[in-house]
Amino acid sequence: MEKIIEENKQGESLVLEQKDGNSKKLFIESYGCQMNFSDSEIVASILANEGYNTTQNLEEADLVLVNTCSIRDKAEQTVRKRLDQYNAIKKINPGMKVGVLGCMAERLKSKFLEEEKIVDMVVGPDAYKDLPNLLKEVEEGRDAINVILSKEETYGDIAPVRLNSNGVTAFVSITRGCDNMCTFCVVPFTRGRERSRDPQSITEEIAALWERGFKEVTLLGQNVDSYLWYGGGLKKDFEKASEMQKATAVDFAQLLDMVATQFPKMRFRFSTSNPQDMHLEVIEVMAKHHNICKYIHLPVQSGSTRVLEAMNRQHTREEYMELVNNIYRIIPEISLSQDMIAGFPTETEEDHQDTLSLMEHCKYDFGFMFAYSERPGTLAARKLEDDIPAEVKNRRLTEIINLQQKMAFERTQRFVGQTVEVLIEKESKRSNEHWSGRNSQNTTVVFPKEGNYKPGDFVNVKISNCTSATLIGDAVGYSDMN
């Protein structure tokens, strides 16, 4: 159901091409958001230079790394269970070393080494370049930890290797960290302050993907619309930049315009957009370029201005709805998706009704919906009692999900009878006689394999039918994007 945290990918282990001469075996698996999956590719790439090839067989691993998520309590519990399983294997293979990476490592720091006896190494999201040193410590029998957050690190100089991908779509990270301080959210604590990556290293990475046949890139960040490159450094320090730096700075609308112009036969997506940082310039650039997909993930969390304020979301219900109205005015065919939290502290029945009515107004194609989970250290945890009973949270969540499903079906149906451009990604999961891909609006499209079409081709598909989330049709020819 979730896209940001793709359930079917949780715990997926990563296998990369084997480097000759490497004798040690690395098992690396990832939980949480797409950024974690991208970071694991960076980690595997760093360790390939340290003598490690990846394996999918946990039993034979010399080093086991788990890239963790702290966003909700459930995410942390999943990782703890996984650590128990590693422990069982460590009993058979005592030489195996275990390292915890990512947000839980950053949140729990050395507590991890104390609480979880099997953990040998704890590495936060900005410290992966220190892995070779940390591994030396571990090999010499000491526990190793680096959870220092950085002002500059964007891993722009490390080429991630992506072999278990479909070879057609890839993620390229453009910002790290988040400065927004939403009161419920642990990310600013675990991933540090916001910084942007050098546009040149972004375009170089995209060019390398293009060379290898990739056709779609999703620009990735906790808050992509806030992207701002002025020569490096934290977003919050931009005010202190020189006049020259300010005059030559690149913002998100410019970056998007740049990549869409430079790679006209490649399709672009981006995630995640924050309502308060999403400006009309970005929408205008989207409208200008056919190769920027007409889909925006625009989390809102609540439809009540009072709750939005308590969440420190920096916009009201009305401002969000005005943004959405403007988006539909400029790009009528756009699809939108939301993140929503049910049962934030103090949420009343009236606030909840405001959420439902905002959803009806915005007509989201997709949604990612959660019950509020108190996270230690956040402002909400410190200042507000988690006062909505679990049954109430869950009932409200169910109402939100039911409304979203009803809307999603209506939104999907709008494509029936239309011809849509689809980038073929892979064989359909349900049938090896069908191709599967997505249209510009991010809806999955399946159609029978006819002609010579193959993954990586842009094809026009006439839609004849749909389920609540999938369009079904027939290919009618190549599109102009090829």
* Alpha-carbon gap, residue 86 to 91, rounded angstroms: 9
Preceding amide of 272 cis, omega within 30: yes
- Residue with smaller CB distance to ligand SAH, 222 or 444: 222
The total number of residues written for the chain in this structure:
482
- Work out what residue 400 binds among ligand SAH, ligand F3S, none; the CB cut-off runs from 5 to 8 Å by kind: none
Q: Does 182 engage in binding with ligand F3S (CB under 6 A)? A: yes
- Residue with smaller CB distance to ligand F3S, 289 or 306: 306
Minimum CB separation of residue 270 from ligand SAH in Å reads 10
Minimum CB separation of residue 51 from ligand SAH in Å reads 34
Alpha helices in 263-372 (DSSP H): 280-288, 305-310, 317-330, 349-362
Q: Does 341 engage in binding with ligand SAH (CB under 6 A)? A: yes
- Footprint of ligand F3S on residues 62-101 (CB under 6 A)? none
Stretch that binds ligand SAH, among 179-187, 328-336, 401-409, 473-481 (CB under 6 A): 179-187
> Is position 33 annotated in a ligand binding site?
yes
Q: Say if residues 150 and 107 touch (Cβ distance below 8 Å).
A: no
Q: Does 185 engage in binding with ligand F3S (CB under 6 A)? A: yes
* Alpha-carbon gap, residue 75 to 411, rounded angstroms: 30
* Type of residue at 435: W
Query: Position of tokens 């202190």?
Result: 240
> Is position 178 annotated in a ligand binding site?
yes
Strands of 295-297's sheet in order across: 295-297, 335-342, 366-371
Number of H helices, E strands in the chain: 15, 22
Cα–chain-centroid distance for residue 451?
34
Q: Does 274 engage in binding with ligand F3S (CB under 6 A)? A: yes
Stretch that binds ligand SAH, among 75-83, 182-190, 203-211, 356-364 (CB under 6 A): 182-190
Q: Does 438 engage in binding with ligand SAH (CB under 6 A)? A: no
- Work out what residue 253 binds among ligand SAH, ligand F3S, none; the CB cut-off runs from 5 to 8 Å by kind: none
**β 444-448/458-466 pair status:** unpaired
Helix (H) or strand (E) holding 205: helix 199-211
Q: Using CB under 6 A, which of 61, 98, 147, 187 touches ligand F3S? A: 187
Minimum CB separation of residue 178 from ligand F3S in Å reads 3
Buried b (16+ CB within 10 A) or exposed e, 451-470: eebebbbbbbbebeebeeee
Q: Which two tokens stand for residue 463?
A: 């839609």
- Residue with smaller CB distance to ligand SAH, 187 or 296: 187
Q: Which two tokens stand for residue 194?
A: 């916001």
Q: Does 187 engage in binding with ligand SAH (CB under 6 A)? A: yes
- Work out what residue 71 binds among ligand F3S, ligand SAH, none; the CB cut-off runs from 5 to 8 Å by kind: ligand SAH
Q: Which residues bind ligand F3S (CB under 6 A)?
A: 178, 180-182, 185, 187-188, 222-223, 274
Q: Which residues are annotated as a binding site?
A: 33, 69, 103, 178, 182, 185
Q: Which residues bind ligand SAH (CB under 6 A)?
A: 4, 71-72, 184-185, 187, 222-223, 272, 299, 301, 339, 341, 370, 372-373, 375
